[in-house]
Chain A
Amino acid sequence: MQKIMIIEDDPAIREELALLLKNEGYTPLMVTEFTDVPGQAAQERPDLILLDIGLPGKDGFSLCAALRKVSLAPMIFVTSRDAGVDEVRALSLGGDDYITKPYSVPVLLARIKAVLRRSFGEPEPSDILDDGKLRLSLTKGTVSAGGGTAELTRNELQILACLMAHAGQIVSRADLIDTLWDNQIYIDDNTLSVNMTRLRGKLAKIGLPDAIKTRRGMGYQL
């Protein structure tokens, strides 16, 4: 498990962040003593550092320089100052990414994942989703099953990918819309219904007419 060091002075944020990262499968390291942060980093050897550059009585930028001397771990700056000047300065000091408070949780997680992937050369998330019955190719935009292959539009692809990622669980319409918006597809409820009908039509043609079940009042289930 990858260790993520959280340097954040607000205890509420620190603890919630630790909990969140733990749930996501990382090992969070909370820094509660800010006197010798570089020393702690040298000792704990984290894989990623989340650094709040607005620590009390300290200049986050000089702390960053000190951390850089003892650790080569990638660093994501978190700050509530959102002037463009700060961003440029942070990145020029060796930060790998910069995110401003208040961040949305999915955005933060995506950034962490991306930085870790860049730094440790982890494989890109798999292009093929396969649950035994369905085989979805994300780059080709096709779905295949026993009965053949169908081409999907961008929207249908994302809907199906989301359902397959939560195979067996009920995914609500609101969650589906959220996922699509995460992928820069800004649709509304009606469009989702239309896309869902088309997706079901295409699945029916390749021999899976009832692959997506509607759970009335709750959502969809694959």
Chain B
Amino acid sequence: MTLREFLSDRLFRIITPLLCFTIAILFLRATGTQSGVLAILAAVFLLVFCAVQLSDFFSQRTRLRELESILDSLDRKYLFTECVPPPQNLYERRLFNLTRRAGRAMTGAVSDAQASQREYREYVEQWVHEIKAPITAARLICRDLDGEPRRKLISELAQVEAHVERALFYARAESPERDFLLRQVKLEKIAAQAIENHRSLLIQNGIRVETEGLNCTVYTDEKWAVFILGQLLQNAARYRGEAPVITISAHPLGKQVRLTVSDNGIGIPAHELPRIFERGFTGSNGRSRGGSTGMGLYLCQKLSGFLELGLDIASEQGKRTTVTLIFPAKQNLTKL
């Protein structure tokens, strides 16, 4: 708050006493008071008046600054009214109480929302675990079938699983509690698991996967990393070109490890690149090929944030897409 703002805010309250005082002086003068007395009177009045206004200004400014610093230091800003000292004057105290009551209603609403979100997440997780039993049974039953029908059914089941996994990770990513576990994992293991999970999709689309330099160790949550890599493989399969090849390669980058997944697919138009991580964004490729949910990359980015993975996508339309994942060095991980 500047002095100017303060003054303009109180303009009326400043002008009124000044006006009254001027009228009083004029009246005293007309009734014959000496001008020397009037001058002293005017000087004293103005001095006191200015002093009162200035002291008001400074005390208000101090209080506002104090409140601002309290708000800044708060993690959950909506708890503000619970954390500030109540004001001294009656009117402000009443106002403050009103705000506090409103704040409490908000806090209640927030914690209700959080609770229902948690319950929803728990339900989704439980549902995912339950749906896995029939999928497992169906997979085992597929064994009894021969050749082509078995392959087709297994590939359909794999798609069901991919959708189920996405739902699970969506629930996990949207929820404030994150239950990942950072451990030392071989990239080979992550890649092999991700490829295995999407194997029927990859084989069916005639894709060759080449791996290179995956003999490195990274610190991450295995399941989450497998999921992220799986999403990238699914995208590469969906947006494949002629004679599709996916190359998964890793290079140490100082203490970090850089993993790149590149394909020779149809690529992403340059003007769409900035939007690919948006939730629900499908782009022209998604529209032309169908079956795109706009969730895969959104989830990848969200999960990468939790795992402190660097995620970047470069693409040349009609030629290739290269996704780079940078695994953090062990000592940089804050949540370990």
Contacts and interface: CB of A to CB of B under 8 A. Distances in A.
Contact of A20 (B143, B151, B183, B208): B143
Given A102-B132, A104-B196, A84 B183 contact: yes
B179 interface: yes
Given A83-B223, A85-B179, A172-B147, A102 B136 contact: yes
Contacts of B141: 12, 16
Given A20-B143, A186-B211, A190-B243, A101 B202 contact: no
A80 B164 CA distance: 12
Contact of B134 (A12, A19, A88, A181): A12
A174 B181 contact: no
Given A172-B147, A174-B151, A84 B180 contact: yes
B222 A84 contact: yes
Interface string B182-203: 0100000000100110010011
Contacts of A188: 203, 206-208, 243-244
B153 interface: no
A72 interface: no
5 contacts: A84-B181, A186-B210, A188-B207, A188-B244, A190-B206
Interface of B: 128-130, 132-137, 139-144, 147, 151, 157, 161, 179-181, 183, 192, 195-196, 199, 202-203, 206-211, 221-223, 243-244
A105 B151 CA distance: 13
Residue from B140, B157, B208 with most neighbouring chain A CB atoms (10 Å): B140
Nearest to B133: A10
B223 A82 contact: yes
A101 B135 contact: yes
Interface of A: 10, 12-13, 16-17, 19-20, 54, 80-85, 88, 100-105, 107, 172, 174, 177-178, 181, 184, 186-191
B181 A88 contact: yes
Top-8 shortest CB links A-B: A186-B209, A16-B140, A84-B181, A80-B132, A12-B137, A188-B208, A102-B136, A80-B129
A57 to B, nearest CB: 15
B136 A178 contact: no
A116 to B, nearest CB: 20
Contacts of B128: 80
Contacts, number: 91
Contact of B140 (A20, A100, A186, A187): A20
A35 B117 CA distance: 36
A189 B206 contact: yes
B205 to A, nearest CB: 9
B202 A104 contact: no
A172 B129 CA distance: 35
Contact of B129 (A16, A54, A190): A54
A105 B143 contact: yes
A172 B136 CA distance: 25
Contacts of A178: 203
Nearest to A14: B137
Contact of A83 (B179, B183, B199, B243): B179
Given A13-B137, A103-B136, 19 more contacts: A10-B133, A10-B136, A16-B141, A17-B140, A84-B221, A85-B181, A101-B132, A102-B135, A102-B161, A103-B139, A107-B196, A174-B203, A181-B195, A181-B199, A181-B203, A186-B195, A187-B208, A188-B206, A188-B208
